[in-house]
Structure 1
Amino acid sequence: MTTTSAPTVATSAVSFERVTKSYDDVRAVDGLTLDLRPGETVALLGPNGAGKSSTLDLLLGLRRPDSGTVRVFGTSPREAIAEGRVGAMLQSGGLMGEVTVRELVELACALHPRRHRVSDVLARAGITEIAGRKVDKLSGGQEQRVRFALATAGANDLIVLDEPTTGMDVTARQAFWATMREQADQGRAVLFATHYLEEADAIADRVLVLHRGRLLADGTAAEIKAKAGARKVSFDLAEIDADLAARLRELPFLTSLDVAGRTVRLQSADADATVHALYGLGVYPYNLEVAGLGLEQAFVAITAAEEAASAC
């Protein structure tokens, strides 16, 4: 049996309203409010301990919030999952090893209320050629593709992915994200947590940055980069002695400085003022480049600023 109907239209795919979750005296999720919409591909970013895994656990009904409300397509997470509206690919939890890949995928399809054909699921995940292999004989990247197959065994309206491309090679990662884009284009919401920030930059329609259980930033990758404020400046100098290196460190609006040989790389909260002051030092920079921060650098800048604020 194959279901080809489009996902049910809803104003919100996921809604968190002032959600908190603590473990002993550690506040893992702290008053989190957010709203995810159908058709969005959303990246969930944050340093270790930011609350990403706890947020996903709450979303999937694996844990209950201490306070606040989590809704998935207007119902509780467990109801949405029971209705076959949510597929998940998590880091935790092992796979049954003594069965073949095909047998495991067949089981997932059979259990799904809106199941896809097994052959289609295998092909979409790129594991048709290893369908007859025992699961415990797979490489790490192959295991990830099997997990992806299990997450997409039926016509889910929401797909939740936790570090989905860990262990995959470049080709497999590209194929994986092409498939995820197809899912979003069909109206499904895709939420993924990742440490590969270049994936978030290239793939996500929207980026959420968590820190100590709170939402620090919410916007497109471009908006997150702009929120960081700083810009990158790099240039070469004919010679850099100790005195000049010290004067470079006194340039205004610096947030970081790295000198390697005759090459200088810095970040500045006001690149125009910094470059103007650079010329005031009586030096002539060549190969001068000024650019916005990448998503990874912006992420580091935003979380570092929050850490500094928390320490005050």
Structure 2
Amino acid sequence: MSNERLVGDPEVPAVSFEQVSKHYGPVQAVRELSLQLPQGRAIAFLGPNGAGKSTSMEILLGLKHASSGRVEVFGKPPRQAMTAGHVGAMLQSGGLPADVTVRELLTLMTKLHPKPLRVDEVLLRANIADLADRRAGKLSGGQTQRVRFAIAIAGDSDLIVLDEPTTGMDVENRHIFWNSMKDEAERGKTVLFATHYLEEADQIADQVVVINKGRLLANGSVSDIKAMAGFQRIAFRLPGVTREQLLNLPHVVSLDVLHDHVQIQTSDSDKTFYALLDQGLRPMEIEISALGLEQAFVAITERDNGDAVETTETEDAR
């Protein structure tokens, strides 16, 4: 089967891991990971720090060899797919040469790519046309990240791999970046990205993969991942309430009280809320909803770690 038939064939996954493990001496970074990622989707690759995300991405890019197992990218070994120009990547590390302009840098990158795009098109796709004549050494941190994204899409690659691409960006630059990334996904590219900004992954991802301790923990749509957590969120305002008044409510998984604002994570929102009323408490501005992706991610990974979720202030997944 020719290479061209593999790309665009819905029967062929963009990325396939089969029982992949990676050891660093006694440390096992990836543990028998089996996973297939379809073509043409925006896929969030999530996991706590040290979960094996970056190692897995480096293996699929051919930058590291698996200790065991098999990896294919569009049906081929990773390095062969990279050489053919099917993959563009933006990793966490890597700087830019300070004394060249953005246009000069992208011109070089397009000349090196097997399937180059026009430089002006890359500037527009990455939304950095205003930076074209600026020297890389004069860019802010967020602008540098956007230029690194432009390098990742400098060719007509079929898979774009992004490892924590918005680290160091302010809110405005993150918004600009995610719009550029969504445009790539809408062009039919497969976009695989790791991020700690889970509220943005919630809005953008077609599919979510969660790994923990190097193992596959969850794989599905955003709604699938939220459903796996099995919890709901109750939020309300209640002047004068204390933590002690709420600690004994049934089915509470976590409890956060800040002044008169309360957030409760519960495994049974009906029973928790009725018990609240039975205590004679009358909350205001009540909201009962499913967990967001960030809260679901925390709940799933904590459950996998075997940690008892205490009734303390909710921690931020970042």
Q: 147-156 vs 90-99, which deviates more?
A: 90-99
Alpha-carbon distance between aligned partners in 2 of 1:121 and 1:260, rounded to the nearest angstrom: 47
The SS at the match of 1:71 is strand
Q: Displacement, 1:299?
A: 0.9
Distance change >3 Å, CA 105–CA 261, structure 1 → 2: closer
Q: Is the 8 A contact 1:6 1:187 kept in 2?
A: no
Alpha-carbon distance between aligned partners in 1 of 2:287 and 2:126, rounded to the nearest angstrom: 42
Q: Match for residue 226 of structure 1?
A: 227
Distance change >3 Å, CA 240–CA 181, structure 1 → 2: closer
Matches within 5 A, 1:98-137: 98-137=99-138
Residue deviations 1:247-283, cap 9 Å, x none? 5211111101123334332111111111122222233
The SS at the match of 1:187 is coil
Q: Match for residue 272 of structure 1?
A: 270
| Aligned-pair identity (%) | 53
Q: Match for residue 85 of structure 1?
A: 86
Q: Is the 8 A contact 1:6 1:186 kept in 2?
A: no
Q: Displacement, 1:6?
A: 11
The SS at the match of 2:154 is coil
TM-score (norm 1): 0.91
Q: 57-66 vs 283-292, which deviates more?
A: 283-292
Q: Is the 8 A contact 2:6 2:75 kept in 1?
A: no
The SS at the match of 1:173 is helix
The SS at the match of 2:122 is helix
Q: Match for residue 7 of structure 2?
A: 8
The SS at the match of 2:235 is strand
Residue identity in the other structure for 2:253: T
Q: Match for residue 173 of structure 2?
A: 172
Q: Displacement, 1:7?
A: 9.3
Q: Match for residue 96 of structure 1?
A: 97
Q: 27-36 vs 127-136, which deviates more?
A: 127-136
Matches within 5 A, 1:157-306: 157-237=158-238, 239-240=240-241, 245-306=243-304
RMSD over aligned CA atoms reads 2.0
Alpha-carbon distance between aligned partners in 2 of 1:284 and 1:97, rounded to the nearest angstrom: 61
Q: Displacement, 1:214?
A: 0.9
Residue identity in the other structure for 1:224: I
Alpha-carbon distance between aligned partners in 2 of 1:7 and 1:169, rounded to the nearest angstrom: 39
Q: Is the 8 A contact 2:42 2:207 kept in 1?
A: yes
Q: Displacement, 1:163?
A: 1.3
Residue deviations 1:136-168, cap 9 Å, x none? 221111111111111111110100011112233
Distance change >3 Å, CA 276–CA 58, structure 1 → 2: same
Q: Displacement, 1:181?
A: 2.1
Alpha-carbon distance between aligned partners in 2 of 1:304 and 1:240, rounded to the nearest angstrom: 28
Q: Displacement, 1:131?
A: 2.0
Q: Is the 8 A contact 2:233 2:264 kept in 1?
A: yes
Q: Is the 8 A contact 2:6 2:74 kept in 1?
A: no
Q: 163-172 vs 224-233, which deviates more?
A: 163-172
Distance change >3 Å, CA 127–CA 247, structure 1 → 2: closer
- Equivalences, count: 303
Alpha-carbon distance between aligned partners in 1 of 2:180 and 2:164, rounded to the nearest angstrom: 16
The SS at the match of 2:162 is strand
Q: Match for residue 315 of structure 2?
A: none
Distance change >3 Å, CA 77–CA 251, structure 1 → 2: same
Alpha-carbon distance between aligned partners in 2 of 1:139 and 1:260, rounded to the nearest angstrom: 36
